[in-house]
């Protein structure tokens, strides 16, 4: 129990067990108890809370070094189309020239493996196509800058890296293609044969001891890297692990006269130089005008808003009158919960987040902190797990504990003029496209702030 109400609440605990102040999308409701025997304590009805909601697109989304190659294109009728292209450098796993003198080049193959937890987003019942292209420009990290001068950078940005909006030139002619059914749980690997001319060149240079093959630094200057590009007709995005291999296959006769085979392996040597370029097209949806510089109020989208990993879309939530309520005299908050209802369903082609978090955005709309877990050590992010609804039509929910936040809001000005950004958790924010649509009723998002409080007279 909150320390500053403990001295008064014990005597009246039973009387208040059923008391909850419900703050819905446009107001809160409470129950009035006015008994002469308890004239020093009461519960008052307040009807001043309002909620302001918008859909916001975050900037500077870092997608490098996540361990996940997202490749594909998928469409959601409500949020539009999302496409991911993966860029990466490769280098020889071993620069030792151990190829037999009599060996001859056979082929070169890119081997991709699904992530440990197989992942896909979109319609996986149709055949997908991936093309492999050769980079023509070296990958270079970028130092992030705010949208406007003197703004802070988002808390999830920790320095120079590769971001989701970056692109680099690559040869338009693919050096390999593959068509496949993305049954990721049953797929051991995806093998894509690459252009023989590239493989033969690598093979010849290794055997000759070419200086470009004697170190990773030399090789990356010679060969800039690869790009995995999804076909425009694709219907799903799939995830591959960054432990890929490019195998230079060869064969040679053994002393016993039998034909032997071997291969030299190239792999991702610097995970920081593998990233996913993410592009969205929301044409024809309620979110067509959404951009990094243009948030959309839910009054303009028919009460709709959503949260989507990868693309950096979050739902903005603000309670303009909340601090005024907290500063009312003789009020003690017993419990505070923010409940978000989602109309998204589990076991669909568009996975929903298993957990959500709340960024805290400053007055410029930049997420500079996050809602902390009140029951864990300081600095731990609070994650609200998804609670499934009922078959009768009840929506699923995400529930946050706001007690610590309200205490800080009441006692200081650190959270003045701030708002919440409802987002997927940080780990999934950069490695998936999981999406949750906020349920709505009468063109208003179903977002509730439930507060249990005691008022002393």
Integer CA distances (angstroms), 360 to 154, 317, 341, 357, 420, in order? 10, 10, 20, 10, 5
Q: Residue 40: how many CB atoms within 10 A of its CB?
A: 10
Q: What is the pLDDT of residue 201?
A: 97
In angstroms, the CA 134 to CA 450 distance is 55
Query: What is the residue extent of each domain of the chain?
Result: 3-58+283-456, 68-279
Cα-based torsion angle of the residue sequence 438, 386, 354, 230 in order, rounded to the nearest 10 degrees: -30
Band (pLDDT 50/70/90 cuts) for residue 49 is low
- The predicted model gives 6-26 an average pLDDT of 36
Mean pLDDT for the chain overall: 88
Would the pLDDT of 31 be above 50?
no
pLDDT in tens, 432-445: 999 999 999 999 99
Q: 160 CB contacts (<8 Å, ≥6 apart)? A: 141, 142, 143, 144
Pairing of strands 355-361, 447-456: unpaired
- The predicted model gives 96-120 an average pLDDT of 95
pLDDT in tens, 217-251: 999 999 999 999 999 999 999 999 999 999 999 99
Label residues 286-321 b or e (16+ Cβ within 10 Å = b): bbeebeeeebbebeebebbbbbbbbbbbbbbbbbee
CA-nearest of 175, 64, 156, 71 to 115 is 71
In angstroms, the CA 32 to CA 46 distance is 10
The 3-state DSSP class for residue 426 equals helix
**Do residues 159 and 78 make contact, with C-beta atoms less than 8 angstroms apart?**
no
Q: What is the pLDDT of residue 22?
A: 35
Q: What is the pLDDT of residue 154?
A: 95
In angstroms, the CA 382 to CA 279 distance is 29
The 3-state DSSP class for residue 3 equals helix
Q: What is the pLDDT of residue 328?
A: 82
pLDDT in tens, 361-416: 999 999 999 999 988 777 799 999 999 987 677 899 999 999 999 999 998 999 99
pLDDT in tens, 333-368: 888 999 999 999 887 899 999 999 999 999 999 999
Radius of gyration of the chain (CA): 28
Choose from 118-127, 342-351, 421-430 the range with maximum mean pLDDT: 118-127
In angstroms, the CA 252 to CA 406 distance is 72
Q: 306 CB contacts (<8 Å, ≥6 apart)? A: 55, 78, 79, 287, 313, 315, 435, 436, 437, 438
pLDDT in tens, 155-205: 999 999 999 999 999 999 999 999 999 988 888 999 999 999 999 999 999
Phi/psi zone of residue 364: left (φ > 0), alpha (ψ -120 to 50 degrees), beta? alpha
């Amino acid at each position: 129990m909150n320390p500053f109400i403990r001295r008064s609440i014990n005597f009246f605990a039973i009387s208040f067990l059923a008391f909850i102040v419900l703050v819905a999308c446009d107001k809160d409701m409470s129950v009035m108890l006015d008994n002469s025997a308890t004239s020093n304590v009461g519960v008052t009805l307040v009807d001043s809370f309002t909620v302001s909601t918008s859909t916001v697109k975050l900037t500077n989304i870092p997608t490098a070094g996540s361990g996940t190659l997202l490749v594909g294109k998928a469409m959601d009728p409500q949020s539009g189309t999302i496409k991911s292209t993966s860029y990466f450098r490769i280098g020889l796993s071993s620069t030792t020239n151990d190829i037999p003198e009599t060996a001859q080049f056979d082929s070169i193959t890119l081997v991709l493996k699904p992530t440990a937890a197989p992942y896909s987003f979109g319609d996986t019942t149709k055949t997908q196509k991936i093309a492999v292209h050769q980079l023509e420009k070296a990958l270079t990290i970028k130092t992030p800058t705010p949208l406007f001068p003197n703004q802070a950078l988002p808390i999830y940005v920790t320095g120079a890296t590769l971001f989701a909006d970056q692109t680099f030139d690559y040869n338009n002619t693919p050096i390999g293609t593959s068509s496949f059914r993305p049954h990721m749980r049953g797929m051991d690997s995806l093998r894509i044969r690459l252009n023989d001319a590239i493989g033969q060149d690598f093979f010849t240079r290794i055997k000759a001891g070419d200086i470009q093959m004697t170190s990773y630094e030399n090789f990356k200057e010679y060969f800039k890297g690869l790009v995995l590009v999804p076909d425009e007709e694709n219907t799903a995005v799939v995830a591959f692990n960054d432990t890929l291999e490019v195998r230079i296959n060869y064969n040679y006769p053994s002393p016993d006269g039998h034909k032997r085979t071997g291969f030299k392996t190239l792999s991702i040597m610097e995970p920081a130089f593998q990233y996913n370029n993410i592009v969205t097209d929301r044409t024809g949806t309620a979110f067509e005008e959404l951009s990094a510089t243009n948030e959309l109020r839910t009054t303009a989208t028919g009460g709709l808003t959503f949260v989507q990993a990868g693309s950096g879309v979050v739902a903005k939530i603000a309670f303009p009158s909340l601090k005024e309520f907290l500063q009312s005299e003789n009020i003690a908050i017993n419990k505070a919960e923010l409940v978000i209802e989602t109309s998204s369903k589990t076991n669909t082609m568009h996975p929903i987040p298993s957990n959500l978090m709340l960024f805290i955005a400053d007055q410029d709309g930049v997420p500079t902190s996050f809602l902390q877990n009140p029951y864990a050590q300081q600095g731990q992010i609070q994650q609200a797990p998804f609670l499934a609804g009922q078959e009768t039509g009840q929506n699923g929910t995400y529930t946050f504990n706001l007690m610590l936040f309200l205490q800080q809001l009441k006692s200081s000005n650190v959270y003045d003029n701030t708002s919440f950004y409802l987002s997927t958790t940080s780990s999934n924010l950069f490695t998936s496209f999981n999406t949750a649509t906020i349920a709505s009723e009468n063109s208003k998002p179903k977002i509730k702030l439930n507060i249990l409080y005691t008022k002393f007279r």
